[in-house]
Structure 1
Amino acid sequence: MLMAVLISNSVGNILVERFNGVPSEERLHWRSFLVKLGADNLQRASNEELFVASHKSVHIVYTVLGDVCIYIVGKDAYDELALAEVMFVITSLIKDACKKSPTERLFLDKYGKICLCLDEIFWKGIVENTNKERIKRLTRLKPPGEF
C-alpha cells in the first residue's frame, strides 16, 4: 500500500499531502517525521537525488526538486524500487507541468494540474498508472474523442 505522498517547500510547509490507511491521529507524526528527515538530508542534495529510509516497517523514498521536497511512504509490496519508480513519474510530471524545475510559486501556480497527475498515478493507496504519456492524456480534461 502507498501510505503517503507529501510535497513540501524547502522550509517544511506542506504543499500537498495524500494519506491512505493512516489514522488521522498518526498523520501529524508522519508530517513532522518526514519534514525533519528532509531537513536533515536534503539541504545538500542535488535535484532528483533519491534518498531511502525505513521507519516502523515502512519504506520511504524522498528527493528534492527545485524548491520542493517530495516524500513517498509505502509498505508491503511497495518497497524502495516500486517507490523509486513512482517518484520518477511524479518528478517528471511536475517538471512537465511547471516547464522546468519548480520554484514554490511556480508549483503553486500549477497546483491543480499537479493534483490531477497525482490522482492519475495512485488511488486509495494503490498505484494505478506510471505511464507518463497516458497520465498526460488523462489530465488534459478533454473528451476521449478529441485525443
Structure 2
Amino acid sequence: MGSRFWEGQKRDRGVPTEERLHWRSFLVKLGADNLRRAKNEELFVASHKSVYIVYTMLGDVSIYVVGKDEYDELTLSEVIYVITSSVKDACDKPPTERLFLDKYGKICLCLDEIVWKGLLESTDKSRIRRLTRLKPPTDV
C-alpha cells in the first residue's frame, strides 16, 4: 500500500521542481509519522512554511490538502470532507489503491470541480456529482 499523490498537470505549472520535491518528501514523512495509526477519515492538521495542511486516510489512499492565507485549516477541513465524499461516491466505497487507480478519471473530474487552477471552486456535493455526470472521464 504505497502512497500516491494526485498531481494534476495543470497544478504543477510554475512550481519549480525542487520545491515540488521538497513538498512531496515533507508530505510523505508527515503521513508516515501519523497516518499509520489513523482511523479511516480521521483528520490531521499541520503547518509548514506558512501554509496549512489537512490530511487523512481514506481506505488505502492518503489525501492531503494544502493552502495558505484565506485557505486556513477550517476551510481545508471543509474541502477535504468534500474530496473524501466525492472519492467515496466515485468508488462506491472507501477505495483500495487499485480501486482508486481504476476510478482515477472520474476522481480527477470531481477534483477539477472542487479546485480549479489552485482556487476553491465548489464544495456543493450535489453540484459536483451533477457536473461530473456531464463529462466523460476520457476527456481528462
When normalised by structure 2's length, the TM-score is: 0.89
One-letter amino acid of the counterpart of residue 114, structure 2 = I
Q: Classify the secondary structure of the residue corresponding to 2:81.
A: helix
Counterpart residue number, 2:138: none
Correspondence 1:136 to 2:129? yes
1:15/1:59 CA distance change after superposition, 3 Å: closer
Pick the aligned partner of 1:11 from 2, 6, 14: 2
Query: Whose strand fraction is larger, Structure 1's or Structure 2's?
Result: 1
Structure 2, unpaired ranges of 5+: 136-140
Counterpart residue number, 2:116: 123
Stretches of 4+ aligned residues off by more than 3 angstroms = 18-22
Query: Whose helix fraction is larger, Structure 1's or Structure 2's?
Result: 2
Count of residues in Structure 1 that have an aligned counterpart in Structure 2: 132
One-letter amino acid of the counterpart of residue 37, structure 1 = L
One-letter amino acid of the counterpart of residue 2, structure 2 = V
One-letter amino acid of the counterpart of residue 44, structure 2 = F
- C-alpha separation in 2, matches of 1:81 and 1:24: 29
In the TM superposition, residue 141 of structure 1 has moved relative to its aligned partner by 2.1
> Could you list the per-position Cα deviations for residues 46-103 of structure 1 after superposition, in whole angstroms to 9, with x for gaps in the alignment?
0000000000010000000000000011001000000000000000000011101100
> Could you list the per-position Cα deviations for residues 31-58 of structure 1 after superposition, in whole angstroms to 9, with x for gaps in the alignment?
1110110010000000000000000010
Structure 1, unpaired ranges of 5+: 1-9, 143-147
In the TM superposition, residue 125 of structure 1 has moved relative to its aligned partner by 1.2
> Could you list the per-position Cα deviations for residues 121-147 of structure 1 after superposition, in whole angstroms to 9, with x for gaps in the alignment?
0111110100000000000026xxxxx
One-letter amino acid of the counterpart of residue 107, structure 1 = F
Q: Which structure has the higher relative contact order (CA within 8 Å, separation 6+)?
A: 1
Correspondence 1:60 to 2:31? no
* RMSD over equivalenced CA pairs, Å: 1.4
Residue identity over aligned pairs, in percent, reads: 76
- C-alpha separation in 1, matches of 2:55 and 2:107: 17
> Could you list the per-position Cα deviations for residues 88-121 of structure 1 after superposition, in whole angstroms to 9, with x for gaps in the alignment?
0000000011101100111111000000000000
Correspondence 1:92 to 2:82? no
- C-alpha separation in 2, matches of 1:91 and 1:68: 10
Counterpart residue number, 1:72: 65
